[in-house]
């Protein structure tokens, strides 16, 4: 936490979001993750696969297809900024970073749907069977 400091959207200092700061680290607990630290797409995945910690930030639109929607985009951006020690993070900056994953086929845009994205063929760890297998290993 950043000393209980409140920002627009109110996630810093809000006790109901404290657990989100402790999402399982993709590098520490996910055998499928890259060893260099948490990437943005992994952070998004981890929020989605831990609904008990999600607090209405994001939701699955179609879990089987990997389609998800941001419900509180600025709050997610603030949490990402906190994780990366960037207090000026906004959803505009976060979404620009997400576009980097399009060419690598880790994330895809869902045409005609605002705030809706899809995990691409080069993403991992979000499918229900992958999550179940990972939980068995932990």
Q: Is 91 inside any structural domain? A: yes
Q: What is the CATH number of the domain that holds 55?
A: 1.10.10.10
In a domain, 4, yes or no: no
On the 0-12 / 13-18 / 19+ scale of CB atoms within 10 A, 70 is buried
Q: How many domains does the chain have?
A: 1
Q: Which residue range(s) make up the domain with 59?
A: 40-135
> Considering the domain boundaries, does residue 18 fall inside one?
no
Question: If you compute the radius of gyration of the chain from its CA atoms, what whole number of angstroms results?
Answer: 14
Instruction: Report if residue 111 sits inside a domain.
Output: yes
In a domain, 21, yes or no: no
| Closest to 10 (Cα-Cα) out of 57, 70, 47 | 57
In a domain, 34, yes or no: no
Task: Give the pTM.
Answer: 0.73
- pLDDT per residue as tens digits for the range 60-99: 999 999 999 999 999 999 999 999 999 999 999 999 999 9
Residue with tokens 């939980």: 135
Do the domain assignments include residue 6?
Answer: no
Q: Is residue 98 part of a domain?
A: yes
């Amino acid at each position: 936490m950043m000393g209980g400091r409140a920002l627009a959207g109110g996630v810093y200092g809000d006790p109901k979001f404290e657990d989100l700061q402790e999402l399982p680290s993709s590098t520490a607990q996910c055998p499928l993750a890259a060893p260099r630290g948490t990437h943005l797409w992994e952070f998004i995945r981890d929020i989605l696969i831990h609904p008990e910690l999600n607090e209405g930030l994001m939701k699955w639109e179609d879990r089987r297809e990997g389609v998800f929607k941001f419900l509180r985009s600025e709050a997610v951006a603030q949490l990402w900024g906190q994780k990366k020690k960037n207090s000026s993070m906004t959803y505009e900056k976060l979404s620009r970073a997400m576009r980097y994953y399009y060419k690598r086929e880790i994330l895809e845009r869902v045409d005609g749907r605002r705030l809706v994205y899809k995990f691409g063929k080069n993403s991992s760890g979000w499918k229900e069977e992958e999550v179940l297998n990972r939980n068995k290993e932990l």
